[in-house]
Structure 1
Amino acid sequence: MKKPEIQVRRRPRQSRAKLTQEALQESFVRLLHVHSADKITIREITDLAGVGLGTFYEYFSKKEDLIALTIHQHVKSNAEQLKSYAQSLMELSTKLSFEDYLQQIIHFQLEHIQTQQFLWAQTFLLERQISNIESYRKSYAMMLEMWRSILKPYIEDTEQLKRISLNVQRVCYGFVSQTLLIEPEFREWDELGKDISQSLEKINF
């Protein structure tokens, strides 16, 4: 069955409106630590955020729209943090080999995911349950753009950059998402990092 299109009714243009929308997202995430997403009610979300039901419906037509936006913002924040870290590596040293550069970025990524493991496990699960194909493609495209930005200092050829960015995303996303979907309380992060690195070594850079 085709999933309904997810829409945000009104995009926040003023700082107060943006803060309200962020409060709703934060409330949903906090409630995830207590209940599964399907058990969380809109009333619980608005009560925790300190706003009325009417305010919720100014921005979202249903709970799934809030969940979809929360997922998107989580992925976007991760992409921005990873790009900032990559930039800091370039500023600290211009002598890093491509392999060492990529290895450090992946290590940073895995550490970041580990510190928010519960939220990432929920994100991958809800992404499958809530996101339609358009939303999924949008998030995936954002991650590909992130990898292109990160890898660009080492890869001049545009087509090669696109191909390698796609393959790095495929490997990293595949390993991490499948791991946390099957085992949300996964603990062998060092081993997972080694498996990812070994798989990336086989890519023709």
Structure 2
Amino acid sequence: MKPLPRPTRTSARKRPPPGPPGPRRRPQQARARHTARALREAFVRVLVERGYAGVTVREVTLVAGTALGSFYDYYASMDDLARVSLHLRSKALLLALRGAAGRHAGMPLAQIVVAVVDAMLARHRERPREWAAHYLLERHFSSLEAYLEMYERFVDAWAEAIGAATDWPAHQPPREAARVAQAILYGLFANQHLTHPDGPDNAALRRMASEAIGAYLHAARR
């Protein structure tokens, strides 16, 4: 990763009155969408290098290549940008889970589980330090309500995946099993990236996650 440019002067983080999370300007046009995305990507880059306490609006806009004043066109505050970044990165994982499960619908549970784990590894593999920063930041900026809402969406995706397996009993609701499967998946990926920020042993993580989820689902069938 290239070193970050040094700001011309130190700037205290500005904190305007809190507003609702999410971009303040709806980025409908291509240029606006590009600016909003550039700010998010710059935020993550600075976060990895400096930690959240070291992130300033000035440095984020410098790295993003945008005007300092444009920041507040899209985000109410640095905390707002952090929450939006967390939400969108979690959403990307959710879409990866759904995609893998959908492509393997109608297959045995073991194959679906491995496909989901591989999809998660593919999302994490190239930038493990960003995911380590994500999981750490999540503990500070995700409200309980927001966390539970996103968590239930992952449980929904798992329930659909499990229910579509050829060897899951048709009479057995899959939601309880889905909740445990997500707890195992999230716990292992968060732990391994927090404890190995430069990248966990992906082969070991694949084995642990696949075997743990697979063994539980096998035992849960009745």
Please give the TM-score of this superposition, normalised by the length of structure 2: 0.76
> Is 2:137 the partner of 1:123?
no
Alpha-carbon contact 2:112-2:161 (below 8 Å) kept: no
SS of the equivalent of 2:82 reads helix
Choose which of 39, 43, 64 in structure 2 pairs with 1:24: 39
**Higher relative contact order, chain-length normalized (CA < 8 Å, sep 6+):** 1
Alpha-carbon contact 1:25-1:66 (below 8 Å) kept: yes
> Is 2:181 the partner of 1:165?
no
Choose which of 91, 100, 105 in structure 1 pairs with 2:111: 100
User: How far is 1:42 from its partner?
Assistant: 0.4
Distance 1:115 1:138, change over 3 A: same
Runs of 4+ more than 6 Å apart: none
Choose which of 69, 78, 81 in structure 2 pairs with 1:54: 69
Task: Give the structure with the higher percent helix.
Answer: 1
Q: Which runs of 5+ in 1 are unaligned?
A: none
CA distance in 2 between counterparts of 1:58 and 1:44 reads 16
SS of the equivalent of 2:211 reads helix
Letter in 1 for 2:129: F
User: How far is 1:66 from its partner?
Assistant: 0.3
How many positions carry a matched residue from both structures? 198
The superposition leaves residues 131-179 of structure 1 with CA deviations (integer Å, 9 ceiling, x where unpaired) of 2222222321232233234334225869722112111100100111122
Please give the TM-score of this superposition, normalised by the length of structure 1: 0.82
Letter in 2 for 1:65: D
Alpha-carbon contact 1:6-1:64 (below 8 Å) kept: no
SS of the equivalent of 1:147 reads helix
User: How far is 1:115 from its partner?
Assistant: 2.4
**Where does residue 192 of structure 1 map in the other structure?**
205
User: How far is 1:74 from its partner?
Assistant: 0.8
**Where does residue 202 of structure 1 map in the other structure?**
216
Alpha-carbon contact 1:12-1:21 (below 8 Å) kept: no
Letter in 1 for 2:83: A
CA distance in 2 between counterparts of 1:135 and 1:160 reads 26
Larger Rg: 2
